[in-house]
Structure formats: C-alpha cells, structure tokens
Structure 1
C-alpha cells in the first residue's frame, strides 16, 4: 500500500513540479559548468548501493563526502548552490528514485556510500531494512546539525 501511495504521489508531484524542475535545471546549467544533475552513490534498503539524483549544488570535482567533512564547504558551492540547499530544491530529482523504487517519500535519509560509521549504526539498529526516504525524522529535527 505504501508503494502504491509513493507511486501515485510521485507522478502527481512530477506533473505539478515539471516547470519548476526545468527552471532549476536551466539555472544550474547557466550558473556553473557541468551537468544539472549529480548522481550520488547512496545506501538503500538492505545496504544496497543505488544512484540518487540531485540538482548539482557543488562544483564539479568536489570530493564525494558528507558536507561537514569538507575543509571549506562554501568554497565548493555553485553560485546558486546555497539557495538550492536551503530551499531543498536540490532534492526535487529524487522523485525519480521514488518512481523506480529505490526510495520512498518517508523514511531514513539514504547515507552516502562512504559513511561507514552511520551505515554500521543503522545496520545494528535494523534501520538498513527500511526503504530510505525523501524526508524523515532527521529533516524534521535539524538535518545536518544532528550527530550520527
């Protein structure tokens, strides 16, 4: 039932958000070199790796690590990267991951493939068995300011 809800909502949201998605994609391309989308290797259900699309908010060549691990994260942002992140517009392409079944609307945010400490903790607690989500507890309770 949850999968059916995810599919119906993703199709509806995709139709409603088609124009904003195209506008953001164009703005990313116009304000920085490289593709509009960044395909991030993420950990999905049962610790399988999948490719999650996001609008590119960081410059091409930025290391694939959690933002807090970069020496100067602001130096890697594109001209509109900060706005995309603060407004969560960079997350819109994740509707694709919901459509193909890699993600759900609600669930634990998918970890980066190299966040081994987080992956280990989630596995110990059984969280790895859940389908990752576009939004979840962490987004409501502080996002990047939360400890692992």
Structure 2
C-alpha cells in the first residue's frame, strides 16, 4: 500500500467514525421508522462490485416496500417507493450505513459509486478503469449531476476521477457533496422513480435501489 493509500485509509476511518457517531440518533430513529413503515429487513443489502472487480455486500437503509404483483414479481420502483422512502433518498439518509462499508475497507469516502455485480461484464475497457480504485460513498459523478446523468456520462466522470485522483480533489468532492445533498439535486433520473438499469448499449427500466 502506497503512502497516499495509507493517508486516504486513515482519513476514511476517522471521517466514517465521526459521521456514524454524530448521526447515531438519526440512524436509530430512522431504523425504527423504517421497520414500522416499510417492514423488515431494515438494512438493505446488495452485492456490488468494488476495487479490482471484487464483490461485496453494500449496506443501505431500506427505502422501498417489497410489494409484488399477482405473479410474485416485485412491482416497479415507482410503486414501491413511498413518500417516506423518497424523503430518505432526498436527504441521503439511506446511505448512512454505507460508512460501515468504509470501516470494513470495502469502500472509501470518495470514489466511483459501486454498481451491481452483473454490470461488470457489460463495461467497455475504458469503463472498467473505474475499478482501479475503491468505490465511494460519494464521487465526482455525484457532484456533477448524480442520478440525472446518463450512464455513459457517469462512467466517464468516474474514469476522469481515477485518472486525476488526489487528496485535495477528494476534499473538494466532499465539500460539494454537502451542497448537493442540501439542495437535494439529481436524486432521480429524469422520468424514473430511481435509475434505469445499465445494460451496456441498452438501458431498460428495472428494479434498482
């Protein structure tokens, strides 16, 4: 591990511990509300791809119901995302458990957002470069449009970050993230309740939290 990596790791740990300590009351109250309004499990877990293509389980507060149609298939996101779930997403409260992923070493504070494991085989050679670093709670794409961006633009911003990564750039992204969250910008893709799934050259709407 390079000195810069040690520096980043130390910052990740200290920042995550600070955030989790400060937001513990919010997490506790929100967890109770999630259980009452959306049911269990309270923590949403999903397999995502991290650095060097290694998979891990990401943690988020649940923000959708598990309602299904008559055939047992999950209803579209727009029908499962309640007003309460929209509130959690708007203020990024659902992302707070992700700091546990940072403490575990699966993620960093700043980096490309981790995507579904099945996306890995769909990336172009250039897009695969986003896995040269750890995925992040926030990233360059998140402060330059967030979910309002199309997939190609998001991944290009991710690769730009990888190619220009520095501690000072990370601090800038963290600062801009607070502004974006406060303004509640770019929460959803245009015309979608959440985000259409990436299918390489083809994009379709599918359950994605």
Band the TM-score falls in, shorter-chain normalisation? 0.7 to 0.9
> Corresponding residue for 1:50?
56
Show structure 1 runs of 4+ deviating over 6 A. none
State the distance in 1 between where 2:116 and 2:86 align: 20
Pick aligned residue for 1:86 from 84, 90, 97: 90
Determine which structure has greater relative contact order: mean sequence separation of CA pairs < 8 Å that are 6+ residues apart, divided by chain length. Answer: 1
State the distance in 1 between where 2:104 and 2:124 align: 26
CA deviation map 1:30-59 (0-9, x unaligned) = 102221110011110011110000000112
Please tell me whether the aligned partners of residues 53 and 96 of structure 1 are also in contact (alpha carbons under 8 angstroms). Answer: yes
Structure 1 position 13, deviation (Å): 1.2
Matches within 5 A, 1:72-83: 72-83=76-87
What stretches of structure 1 of length at least 5 have no aligned partner? 63-69
TM-score, structure 2 as length reference: 0.62
Establish whether residue 140 from structure 1 lines up as the match of residue 137 from structure 2: no
State the distance in 2 between where 1:75 and 1:146 align: 23
Matched positions, count: 140
In our comparison, the structure showing a higher alpha carbon Rg is: 2
Structure 1 position 10, deviation (Å): 0.9
State the distance in 2 between where 1:15 and 1:123 align: 38
> Corresponding residue for 1:66?
none
> Corresponding residue for 1:29?
35
Change (3 A) 1:144 1:71: farther
What stretches of structure 2 of length at least 5 have no aligned partner? 1-6, 69-73, 152-209
Change (3 A) 1:61 1:84: same
> Corresponding residue for 1:38?
44
